[in-house]
Amino acid sequence: MKIDVTLDNGFIPDKYAKYAPANYRTNDMPTTNFPVEISNTPAGTQSLSVSLIDYDAVPVCGFPWIHWLAANLPVTNIPENLRATKRGTFGTNSTWHDVQKLGHPANASINQSYIGPMPPDKTHNYTLTVFALDTKLDLQNGFFLNELRSKSMEHVLDIAILELPARA
């Protein structure tokens, strides 16, 4: 399987990240995902899942920041603004810590959505992983990364990974 994301001068385009325009944001956070081109999925693929994780966030906040989790996606390209298509099951990103630790209200359009890169200190690399699966996973909206990993274990046909930089 092969995945591709169109970059702008070597970076995730601004409209999907820190410098996104207002119409690409929710509560001043970039919430419109970039499209992902997918080719050569293996025979027998029944669904796709995706994660976007910022491992460069560890020195900043103490843990890898989960920006995007989605599962049970159709075996096609992932469109811009996937959540608006209502296709797939959406996982919980790291903004959930604001709900749990800081008492902010839960908001699925933020907590269970793509949250674009907003590196505070320097360019960060974001690890995009797409899994080709031989089934749809028994997951509900709001699932966590550990659930995605455990439910996927026996069903992964192929994995594709891209490192995507975003500017500070």
- The pLDDT tens digits for 38-84 are 999 999 999 999 999 999 999 999 999 999 999 999 999 999 999 99
For residue range 94-104, list pLDDT tens digits in order.
Answer: 998 776 666 77
pTM of the model as a whole: 0.95
Q: What is the CA radius of gyration of the chain?
A: 15
CATH at 99: 3.90.280.10
- Domain of 120 in residue numbering reads as 2-166
- The stretch 108-114 carries a mean pLDDT of 91
Nearest residue to 133 (alpha-carbon basis) of 52, 44, 69: 44
Percent of the chain with pLDDT over 90: 90
Q: How many domains does the chain have?
A: 1
CA distance 104 to 96: 9
Q: Which residues of 32-53 are buried (b: 16+ CB within 10 A; e: fewer)?
A: bbbebebeebeeebebbbbbbb
- The stretch 153-167 carries a mean pLDDT of 98
CA distance 13 to 36: 13
CA distance 39 to 2: 5
